[in-house]
Amino acid sequence: MNRKDNTQILPASMLVFFSAPFFTQTIVFGSEGYLTTVFAKHYELDLVVLGGFLTAIGIFDTITDPAIGVLSDNVRTRFGRRKPWIVLGAFSSLVCCYFLFTPPLSILLQLRQSS
């Protein structure tokens, strides 16, 4: 089936096939629920503060995800359109995950005092 702009509509089976790895990743790693529990229980952070962080992350994603999509569609490099963004995303995820799972004690103490 074709639209007026001659792009194909993907069948549901293909959409499920391409989204399956993300579904599995979400089930296996589910870091939001795990980290919320760790920060609340072991670092004694207030759930309101944690909820505020998750809300801020959601708002940030709402803005940046479409922007990165437009950039990756329109930026052309000698490595291709997507590869530089994949490398940048992998590196930034590595750095962010390190700090997410090993937060500096000074930041945790400040958050704990503010809650």
Q: How many distinct structural domains can be found in the chain? A: 1
Q: How far apart are CA 3 and CA 36, in angstroms?
A: 44
Three-state DSSP state, 112: helix
Three-state DSSP state, 9: coil
Residue 63's pLDDT is 92
* Start-end of H helices in 1-115: 12-29, 31-41, 47-74, 83-101, 105-114
In a domain, 22, yes or no: no
Residue 31's pLDDT is 63
In a domain, 12, yes or no: no
In a domain, 7, yes or no: no
Residue 17's pLDDT is 83
Nearest to 100 by CA among 48, 47, 57, 55: 57
Q: Which domain holds residue 44?
A: 30-114
In a domain, 92, yes or no: yes
Q: Going residue by residue through the chain, which has 115 residues, state the pLDDT in tens, using 9 for 90 and above.
A: 555 666 778 888 888 888 777 776 676 556 666 777 777 887 778 888 888 888 898 899 899 889 988 988 888 889 988 888 888 888 888 888 788 777 777 776 776 676 5
Residue 82's pLDDT is 86
85: Cβ contacts below 8 Å, ≥ 6 apart: 68, 71, 72, 75
In a domain, 18, yes or no: no
